[in-house]
Amino acid sequence: MAITKLPKSVGIIFKHNFEPARTECQRLKDWFTQRGVTVYTEEMASRSYLSQCLEEETGIPDTVDWVVVLGGDGTLLGAARKVGRYGVPILGINLGGLGFLTEIPLKRLYKDMEKLIAGEIEIETRLMLEASVLRDNEEKCRFSVLNDVVINKGALARIIDLRVSIDGRFLSTFRADGLIVSSPTGSTGYNLSAGGPILYPNLEALILTPICPFALTQRPIILPYTSVIEIKMGENSEEVTLTFDGQVGFDLMDNDSIIVSKSKKKLKLIKSPDQDYFDILRTKLKWGESSYNKTSG
């Protein structure tokens, strides 16, 4: 899929409390306005903690043709939760180092914008996750995320018991510090740090990865994208938090059930024309920086 015309309206979401992002937002707004494009802007909020999970509010209307994100991967994750449900293409501009999601550096912003309008840049579709929390058979929380849903215990809390079923069939009870359910896009995040596999980002699959399991034989597992994962909290689950993309938190209680599945919403991500996913992996994970680069004695 490609874009072949100038949009009628765009949204610009920029990094929270970061002056270079605010400055560039104004410059980009002027660039669009000079071309007759209506622009809506919004500063990304800081991380939040919820007593009740609701769709995050945004000042960007659902009628925009594109959304441009100025910041890093964290800013784009927040934007995905806010406007991903609109189904509009999102262009991530990285104001720092190379990102897995914000691939385009600031110095190429306007050059790549012209390529985008000319139809020379493709749009990739990414699977999103939906998670809900049931407490006494009542839904307390529902949220859509791009990267991952994580159950994690507090620093001083005891190990927790997590009874996991897939499509109603019992898988195992994980005794661990926590559990990660990741999308392919999120596979290079917390999942990777916990020993989970890297999945190509536009695959459709779910990854279940335990965090520091008590039994070393409990390993990550890749599941079909159609799977419905149910995680039942055990007794005496003290100081346990459910987090969404590492940015939004919700307190869990004994016997809560967390249901995670593929969301009906999908993210449309505008891709960099000058590098592919493997370029990013090599750069971010420093693949190839080994003895091959050293001269032998």
Strand, helix or coil at 101?
Answer: coil
Q: Is 65 a catalytic residue?
A: no
Fold agreement between 9-122+271-284 and 128-265: no
> HSE on the CB side for 62, CA within 13 Å?
6
Mean pLDDT by 10 residues, the chain (297 residues): 76 93 96 95 75 71 94 92 90 86 89 85 92 93 93 85 97 96 97 96 96 93 98 86 92 94 93 86 82 47
CATH of domain 128-265: 2.60.200.30
pLDDT for 216: 87
Q: What predicted TM-score, i.e. pTM, was given to this entire model?
A: 0.90
pLDDT for 38: 96
**How many whole angstroms separate alpha carbon 265 and alpha carbon 87?**
7
Domain residue limits, the chain: 9-122+271-284, 128-265
pLDDT for 148: 97
Facing residues of 150 across strands?
A: 180, 243
**How many whole angstroms separate alpha carbon 199 and alpha carbon 222?**
9
pLDDT for 239: 86
pLDDT for 63: 94
**How many whole angstroms separate alpha carbon 231 and alpha carbon 142?**
15
How many residues are recorded in the chain?
Answer: 297
CATH 3.40.30.10 fits 9-122+271-284, yes or no: no
Facing residues of 43 across strands?
A: 14
pLDDT for 199: 97
pLDDT for 93: 94
pLDDT for 126: 95
Q: How many helices (H) and strands (E) does the chain have?
A: 5, 18
Set 30, 73, 274, 279: catalytic member: 73
